[in-house]
Amino acid sequence: MLGKKLVTAQKRGETRALCLGLGMVACSMMMYFFIGITIVPFYTNSVWTTETVCKVLKANIKDKAFCPNSKGSEDEEIFPYPCLQVWVNLTASGQEVMLYQTEDTLERNPKCSYVPEKLENSKEVKARIETIASNFKKYQTFPCYYDPGGRQTNVILSRLYPSKGLLFAFLWPTLMFTGGCLIIVLVKISQYVSVLYAWQ
């Protein structure tokens, strides 16, 4: 009687462990799919792939520009902000080009190097942009990214999804997939050993 209870409990434990392993594999596959349709296209479509050194030529704050509150929405509330324009000397080619914060900055407003997020306090936005401008004037040389193919003549300060960020995004689903497969393999080995022992 006790032996039957132990066997039943063992089978229940194996079933739960097998379900856990299968669930981890399924979740990891869903995460792979989500990353593949969201992050990977942004990474592969970015033309600013080569890192070089940029030297600031001028950083000016122009008249106020207007930024949409939410990109792609029909009812776009726009708010004014000071337009920061940063021009740099591209070391790779010696050209004078405009610097943008990221790829998204160029799409949102090609006239400004920095586009702030929606903030209710306009003074805070102005203070932040002035701080950024003073930092550019203080730190004249810094790494930046440019398009080696020449399709984009401007440069960006940082990529939205660099190579390290992409690898980090794939790290967690890979660990989950490996753990799930390991659990499934261990359960199958346990079942095989149990059957082999019972047959002997």
- According to the model, what pLDDT value does residue 108 have? 85
Do 66 and 99 share a domain, yes or no? yes
Residues 123 and 150 in one domain: yes
- Strand stretches in 114-187, DSSP E: 141-146, 155-156
Note whether residue 42 is domain-resident.
Answer: no
For residue 192, tell me if it sits in a domain. yes
Domain span at residue 194 reads 163-199
Q: What is the pLDDT along the chain (200 residues), one digit of tens a residue?
A: 444 544 555 677 778 888 888 999 999 999 999 988 888 888 887 888 888 899 999 888 887 666 554 444 443 446 677 889 999 998 767 788 999 999 888 888 888 898 887 666 778 888 888 899 898 888 888 999 988 887 888 899 988 888 787 888 899 999 999 999 999 898 888 878 777 776 76
Nearest-CA neighbor of 155 among 82, 83, 106, 118? Answer: 106
- State pTM to two decimals: 0.68
Predicted local distance difference test score (pLDDT) of residue 66:
62
Same domain? For 127 and 157 the reply is yes
Domain count, the chain: 2
Residue whose token pair is 């890192």:
51
Task: Assess if residue 2 is contained within a domain.
Answer: no
Same domain, 108 and 176: no
* Residue 31 belongs to some domain of the structure: no
